[in-house]
Structure 1
Amino acid sequence: MARGKTLSVVFKSNYQNQGMLLPPDINDLIPQNHPVRTVNDVLERVDISELVRQYKPGGTSSYHPRMLLKILVYAYINNIYSSRKIEEAVSQHIHYMWLSGMSTPDHNTINRFRGKRLQKSLQPIFTQVVLLLCEEGLLSIKDLYTDGTKIEANANRYTFVWGNAIKHHKEKIKQQLNELWQYAQSVAASELDDTDPSGFDKIDKEKVSQTIEKINEALKGNKSADKKIKQKLTYAKHHWPSALEKYEQQEKVLDGQRSSYSKTDPDATFMRMKEDHMKNGQLKPAYNVQISSNNQFIASYSVHQQTTDTNTLITHLQNHIRQFRIKPNTVTADAGYGSEQNYQWLENKRITGYVKHNQFDRDQNNRLRSKKPYTVDKLEYDPVKDRYYCPTGKPMKRLGSFTSQSRTGYEQTITRYQAKNCDGCPLRGECHQQKGNRIIEVNHNWNRLKQKATKRLKTKRGIQKRKQRCFDIEPVFANIKHNHQFKRFMLRGIDKVNIEIGLLALAHNLRKKVA
């Protein structure tokens, strides 16, 4: 450098308004290994005839459903769930422009497509994508790891309806109606018939209205009738029938299967969530999402309204079988799915289940097992004579069997046995706290299924399956909730929630395929 010469800063040329001889090709601007190309290639290979049938002929032209599907799936891969933000991305982001072919659907079009068009057609599309991944050897649909998670619904947390509250209010109306009837009988018995409201098996709007009318007629013109009673009758006449009608509608929504729902999303059930930012165990309207995975790919999904996983397994696996027209060889799940009904169903379908029951972990802990040495499962049983022996070695008398029905309608056969001469037995204090001789109730089929499951879980294959479950299905939920930041549904209603989970599952699988 010459002495005394000053240097100047040099910038690269920047001509923002410089015209181009040829317009740029967007395809050349996207790397060959970019995830958007994977989304495009995979969704180009699926059959969308079911989706096309959702459109009616005539009218103005529509945006192509395949293009809209690509945009939605790619948006879910990039954690964009709002239709307005997707609309913005389509007009500003080069990858969305390439997928859409420079088309610019607005947020209403995107939302209608997602909420209505995909309701009956997304599941078959997801199935095709899974089968394509199977052909590439990325996963198997015959070896499943199943678990569930609760995701908050798009509903107000404080607009709840409780099934027990409905029963309480109806019983209260019935009780008050009976009190009014008893009062009317004490004042004007000759004016009333013998129909006592307390004898109603079920009260409804019509019965209550008729009974109130009878009481009013009986007390009409009776100067000795209490004014407060007449005021209460007036209130009952104007409020109770409408209240009962409302309760009946609410019970129809609950359908005898749920204990609660949200008024802003009647399909959502109030559940206890792990994400409890207030640290007070607050119940929130949510859906129970069940997922079966293999090699951390989602093989099938389903959405349920039950708060526990136990009653979802059969429905979930039935959906899987109907979806792929083939039943899985093995199913691995945690103790939340261990029930007699589930075990029996798996056995009937000849599906090998590596599913814990709720006492499996306790049974492996000798310290816990030794705390109660005389529980029913530790008593000696002779299957040939169908006889239990008490801790002192004396045979117990078989009292008989009865059938009980679970909440899901599954029938269980329970057998009762009674010990002899418990009075004065030195082990009575440790054996039981019942009055008189000890009576035990045993479900032999449940015991058989538990023993079979325990034996299978303790095999080398069972131990490997139990370990693999943690590494297979749990990362799927972590990816959805942490990486995808999906902790609350955008849409309302179980049908639309199914669509959102389907899009999430597609996004998860394609994202993992690229990784």
Structure 2
Amino acid sequence: MSQEIRADYSQMWMFPPSLEDLLEKDHPARFIREFVDALDLQALGFRMRKGEEGRPNYAADLLLKVWLYGYLERIRSSRRLEKACRQHVALMWLTGMHYPDHNSLWRFWKDNRKALKGVFRQTVRVALNAGLVDMVVNALDGTKIAARASTDKAWFQKKLEKRLQQLDFLLDQAIKEVEEAEKQESGEYRLPQELAEKQKLREKIQESLTQLKEQGRESMHPAEPEAPMMKTREGKKLGYNAQAVVDSKAGVIVAGDVTTDQNDVRQLVPMLETVHSTMGRVAEETVADGGYFSGEQLEQAHKAGFPVVVNLEQVRKAEEEGGPYHSSKFFYDSENDCYLCPRGEKLFYEGVRKHKDKTYAVRSYRCTCARQCPVRWDCSQDRRGRCIARSPYAEAVQRQQEKQQEKSKADLLRRRMVIAEPAFARVKHWLDFRRWTMAGLEKVRSQWLFVCALLNLGKIYSVWRDGKLQLA
């Protein structure tokens, strides 16, 4: 008859256990140790602290291993990491049974914030050497991640103005009541104290509105003023826009950054420049969704020699919905610097003007035979005749449209989703990273690259586990 298995707390070991016996040979903690031991931390800019008096410092490599493995286990708080170092077998193994306190862990992160970015670059180089990156096709994408500061406690101009009006009304009423009470001299009256509290609150609200006005913003959190309001699937929240460029071969992230821009329109070229800085070149093709479409960015990419394929869905949709006289149906004659309408009439250059929705000037071309045109009101409601605004980046957009006529380029756009989006899915589901634990743009940039490094290490670990990669 079998017996139930129970713990025997009086059992003794003949020999004390070795640290090496605590983990299996292919445990992720062993991989983390090999990766960090292979790094030249001093060359990466890590502070190598040496204390001549008192208790010795914790080594930089030990603390880096703790942070890396902690993030892998979704532990991103220095206090929780301190606790885990005493309870988590893998962390006990990584630290050699040393137990760094939360102050040491946080000080290491704060002092080496810039150097931590170098860890990400090292993961890219290791992945490249392991054959996980080929730079044939890269995909660019972004995601909004909530700021550490609470959206509920942010200042909102409209709400503050409404609250200020309510306080002004209450203060007026309170002052009248005080004056009436003084006239009647009806004994002790406690409203002046309440009046002072309301007046103090009013001054705070007025001060908040002044700060919002000075910065030209409609919302802001006083503890994290750099975090703007972002549109997310859960509604508007304080947050930052995290960007990543993913290589198609194995899903390795080759570049990452964080911006306060609420959309991706201006991120195409900056991210490609980041890739070039890290890899020494850009991919043979980089694909991006329609959120990155910008004639200005396409032109800059062309001048820099960056091959890109950007989804033009919004352009095609506008053309389809625009009818037979949409501007796309007008042909530009570069030799004569004029436009030809669908009926063959010419629109002549009339000057340069500033576009109401753009930061740059556009060239205007206007029809001169509108009065005789039988379709003038179908073409335009402008009494002076149809006007076409030509962007200085029109040729860049046209080049992109012609490029996407190739089936191979159109196929790349369909592949974009399966290249880039799994990386963000792993960030939010595998690592459960949905909110920054740091505050401020530069700090969240360091944290994002650290998270990207973890994703890359996950890819490299698979090769290391199969015995196909030696790090040390």
TM-score range, shorter chain: 0.7 to 0.9
Q: Which residue of 2 aligns with 1:27?
A: 20
CA shift digits 1:374-397 (9 cap, x unpaired)? 011111332211111234322222
Instruction: Give aligned pairs, total.
Output: 421
CA contact (8 A) 1:337 1:357 kept: no
2:435 maps to 1:488: yes
1:169-318 equivalence runs, <5 A: 250=212, 254=215, 260-274=219-233, 276=234, 282-294=235-247, 295-318=250-273
| AA partner of residue 333 (structure 1) | A
| AA partner of residue 511 (structure 1) | G
CA shift digits 1:227-251 (9 cap, x unpaired)? xxxxxxxxxxx99999998777556
Q: What is the alpha-carbon distance in structure 1 between the residues aligned to residue 255 and residue 293 of structure 2?
A: 20
CA drift at 1:163: 8.4
Structure with the greater alpha carbon radius of gyration: 1
CA contact (8 A) 2:156 2:220 kept: yes
CA contact (8 A) 2:117 2:450 kept: no
CA shift digits 1:251-277 (9 cap, x unpaired)? 67x5x7x76432231121101111x1x
2:332 maps to 1:381: yes
2:452 maps to 1:505: yes
The one of 415, 421, 437 aligned to 2:363: 415
CA shift digits 1:43-100 (9 cap, x unpaired)? 2212211443364765542211111111111121122222222222211111111111
Q: Which residue of 2 aligns with 1:204?
A: none
The one of 276, 285, 299 aligned to 1:344: 299
Q: What is the alpha-carbon distance in structure 1 between the residues aligned to residue 6 and residue 297 of structure 2?
A: 71
Q: Which residue of 2 aligns with 1:18?
A: 11
| AA partner of residue 20 (structure 1) | W
CA drift at 1:12: 6.3
CA contact (8 A) 1:163 1:260 kept: yes
Q: Which residue of 1 aligns with 2:426?
A: 479
Judged with a 3 Å threshold, the aligned counterparts in structure 2 of structure 1 residues 333 and 125 are, in CA distance, closer, same or farther, namely: same
Give the secondary-structure state (helix, strand or coil) at the position aligned to 2:223.
coil
2:352 maps to 1:401: yes
Q: What is the alpha-carbon distance in structure 2 between the residues aligned to residue 57 and residue 436 of structure 1?
A: 80
Q: What is the alpha-carbon distance in structure 2 between the residues aligned to residue 399 and residue 165 of structure 1?
A: 47
CA contact (8 A) 1:354 1:453 kept: yes
CA drift at 1:420: 2.0
**So what's the TM-score if we normalise by structure 2?**
0.80
Q: Which runs of 5+ in 1 are unaligned?
A: 1-7, 170-237, 277-281
2:70 maps to 1:75: yes
CA contact (8 A) 1:47 1:125 kept: no
2:312 maps to 1:357: yes
Give the secondary-structure state (helix, strand or coil) at the position aligned to 2:346.
coil
Give the secondary-structure state (helix, strand or coil) at the position aligned to 1:138.
coil
Judged with a 3 Å threshold, the aligned counterparts in structure 2 of structure 1 residues 345 and 165 are, in CA distance, closer, same or farther, namely: farther
Q: Which residue of 2 aligns with 1:156?
A: 150
| AA partner of residue 497 (structure 1) | V
Q: What is the alpha-carbon distance in structure 2 between the residues aligned to residue 373 and residue 23 of structure 1?
A: 85
CA drift at 1:162: 6.1
| AA partner of residue 147 (structure 1) | D
> What is the CA RMSD across the aligned residues, in angstroms?
3.2
**So what's the TM-score if we normalise by structure 1?**
0.74
Judged with a 3 Å threshold, the aligned counterparts in structure 2 of structure 1 residues 447 and 133 are, in CA distance, closer, same or farther, namely: same
Q: What is the alpha-carbon distance in structure 1 between the residues aligned to residue 296 and residue 150 of structure 2?
A: 34
CA shift digits 1:142-199 (9 cap, x unpaired)? 7421110000001121343568999x99xxxxxxxxxxxxxxxxxxxxxxxxxxxxxx
1:29-108 equivalence runs, <5 A: 29-49=22-42, 50-53=44-47, 55=49, 58=52, 60=54, 61-108=56-103
Seq. identity, %: 26
CA contact (8 A) 1:398 1:417 kept: yes
CA contact (8 A) 1:400 1:417 kept: yes
CA shift digits 1:111-146 (9 cap, x unpaired)? 2322x1231101112101210110000124574211
CA contact (8 A) 2:119 2:450 kept: no
Give the secondary-structure state (helix, strand or coil) at the position aligned to 1:464.
helix
